[in-house]
Chain A
């Protein structure tokens, strides 16, 4: 089994392996097999298209958590110039699970706030698997306030399994830190554009996810609780995560149709990790377009629209 491919991608993996084999043979054989390789490559693409045209919510969740999926810094480094990271909450410590900074997007200054996961074991531990503690949210708020003071638009990238459920995090007020960000972001006097790039895990995601534009990458997920958590509570078994993922409707297309997400950003065939350059380009284009939209609105109008949008969330009978 090829670990670069997920379970449901194994037929693609087999084809790709065959292509590699042929290439290897092709090097020291007189038979012209390039035609055969092209044929198999077409077949592989068609198969990928077919598999990806019909993904379940649970399969999308696996893509959102794919170990090769680009993380925030992979995008930041491709999209922005002059990124200057700003550290620390000025009260307790710096939380590497959230990166904040100033940067330029095609020349214009912006503030960037993003969850950051780690790639290898060492970095995973350093970034705490992308699960922020209160100091992370407070750092984010500090930089948001800084952006507000200098009228810089804010771009947030969301990619977290959730806020960290730890002893210290509770002691230092995880709930208050998240609540405070929701409170302040609802009326922050500068444009806010938020994008879920991978996992949008509950309150830990929302705490940097209140804004004027809410975007989601095609194979990102966003949910009130992880599918596993939901399954273990409602189905009494974490094994039912696939059912929970489906029931909660955690995918970009579903959330877009429910009106909870403004914009879905298409991913390259096979997911963002198959072509990070192309993905970064699409993200950059969407960020630029969103900023153009919101920056042209008078601030009071923007804030009124943001408030009205928040008030519109949720259906009920009257």
Chain B
């Protein structure tokens, strides 16, 4: 403990173990884009958007659902299902150990959290990726939770909103992960045939197998500003084509320009925008502000 840390009252001291967390426990943090020193409580009030430069920071899944859904309106869907290591996968580390480590670091059992809740009074199912859990990668649990959320939507005829933040399929579950792309897409096809809306919100980053399945199948697709969205990672593309990538390549604004997403929406406007869109799709009056 250095002299400065000793000065901080113990109730706000960080444990200094270097735990990887989106929002550190400190009182102040620095915006990674404009370097402004930000007061943490203020940043949280601003939904983790930098008040100086509007940079949208990555946020945790539960924080996302908390700020999106009406207060105390939700109950979790399929939260009790747990990942298993069918393949006994081992690289430099065992998959089982990686899972335990990710579970400890995030307090989540896998990378997708699904809630049935309300948005401005209207019932819906909302799902959010936990990027801190193995890069938000999609394995069997992510696929199953997504599909169970979709099933609730089908049974109750309520819309689905998904916030994606993922590097893609989870390599440690190999072909099982790939099949989650087909599984989640099939569930959305059922919803689509039944006329139940799905709004996909792409946040930083949405890549690979997640982007090449349900994330790009929204009836309306929304992206957060400057989010990285694509199929192949920029490094892989650069190595393949041996060209420097154009400025802003695979960013939300690039996708809007190329017709891949419907709109870019500031996080602070998401509740209003999504509620408004869902009301219009259902041909209902606009929700109260």
Contact = CB atoms under 8 A, between A and B. Distances in A.
Nearest to B241: A166
B185 A224 contact: no
Interface residues of A, number: 55
B57 interface: no
A187 B259 contact: no
B230 interface: yes
Given A163-B231, A223-B174, A234-B92, A210 B182 contact: yes
Contacts of A248: 87, 89, 171, 174-175
Which of the listed residues A166, A172, A179, A310 has the most CB atoms from chain B within 10 Å of its own CB? A179
B143 interface: yes
Which of the listed residues A164, A172, A222, A315 has the most CB atoms from chain B within 10 Å of its own CB? A315
B245 interface: yes
A37 interface: no
A260 interface: yes
B171 A186 contact: no
Contact of B83 (A175, A206, A229, A316): A316
Which of the listed residues A203, A307, A316, A317 has the most CB atoms from chain B within 10 Å of its own CB? A316
A178 B172 CA distance: 22
A7 interface: no
B155 interface: no
A222 to B, nearest CB: 6
A176 B91 CA distance: 31
Contact of B249 (A167, A174, A207, A316): A167
Contacts of A172: 258
Interface in A168-200: 169-176, 178-180, 182-187
Which of the listed residues A169, A172, A206 has the most CB atoms from chain B within 10 Å of its own CB? A206
A170 to B, nearest CB: 5
A258 interface: yes
Contacts, number: 195
A178 B213 CA distance: 7
A233 interface: yes
B211 interface: yes
Contacts of A230: 171
Contacts of A167: 237, 241, 243, 245-246, 249
Interface string B162-197: 000000010111111111111101111110110000
Contact of A314 (B89, B176, B233): B176
Contacts of A206: 178-179, 181-182
Contacts of A176: 216, 260
A86 interface: no
Given A179-B213, A187-B186, A244-B91, A173 B259 contact: yes
A254 B180 CA distance: 18
Nearest to A240: B91
Contact of A311 (B82, B139, B147, B215): B147
A283 B179 CA distance: 24
Contact of B208 (A203, A223, A315): A203
A249 B213 CA distance: 23
A20 B227 CA distance: 62
A57 B141 CA distance: 26
Contacts of B259: 173
B85 to A, nearest CB: 9
List the 3 closest A-B pairs by CB distance, nearest first: A314-B140, A165-B232, A186-B186
